[in-house]
Amino acid sequence: MGFFGGPHCIAMCGGVCNFFINQSKSKFFLFQLGRLLGYGLLGFVAALTLNSIYEFFQYSLYLRPIRIFFHLSIIIWGGYLIIYLQQPPVFKTFSVNSSRLLNTLKFHNINPFILGILWSLMPCALLYTALIMATMASSAAQGFFIMIAFGVGTLFALISLSFIWIIFKNKAKSYEGICIRFAGIILVTCSIWGMLMTLKLDKNLFC
């Protein structure tokens, strides 16, 4: 998913990558290393948290509807991505503000490794989709490596930025739309599966 989301990653992270490439290769790779570690930590925390909540809900019948509501919310979110090919307005506003803040930080001599970790917090449809997959991992370690794998996939596009941009510069918008729709489909699919598993745990949930 990270690999095929290359055009979207270029649109989101291309500017800061170009900034560090123009400064030095070491700063560029420090930024990428921080970004990968940030993704991994997000996956670790997401999987650990959701597994703990899952175990808690599993033994508490009255709290299980919250899991259903969570999955329904993700399905609606994914459906919005599929139909409109963009984030919901609230996420879009947050994403724009976060992007401006992080792009400002890069000009204030902040360590590229630290900036890479912070960059992993930027709102992104593909990132959120990968995180949803990480939450379904059987352990926190698996969640960590799922997100690392996602980050490595995006790394190909960002390392090959200049060459890919020449190829996709006239079609970047259409490819970005395809990537967002793909992310939405995965969100909906994973959430439907998660909801069905929840209902399977107790067929008398709403009785």
Per-residue pLDDT at 122 = 76
Backbone angles phi, psi at 87, to 5 degrees: -70, 155
Hey, where are the domains in the chain?
6-200
CA nearest neighbour of 165 among 6, 2, 3, 38:
6
Using CA atoms of 87, 116, 10, 161 in order, give the dihedral in degrees to the nearest 10: -170
Q: What angle do CA 147, 29, 166 make, to 5 degrees?
A: 90
> Token pair of 56, please?
């808690």
Which residue numbers in the chain have pLDDT < 70? 1-23, 54-63, 91-92, 94-108, 123, 125, 157-176, 198, 201-207
Instruction: Count the neighbouring beta carbons within 10 Å of the beta carbon of residue 92.
Output: 12
pLDDT, tens digit (0-9, with 9 covering 90-100), for 25-45: 788 888 889 999 999 999 999
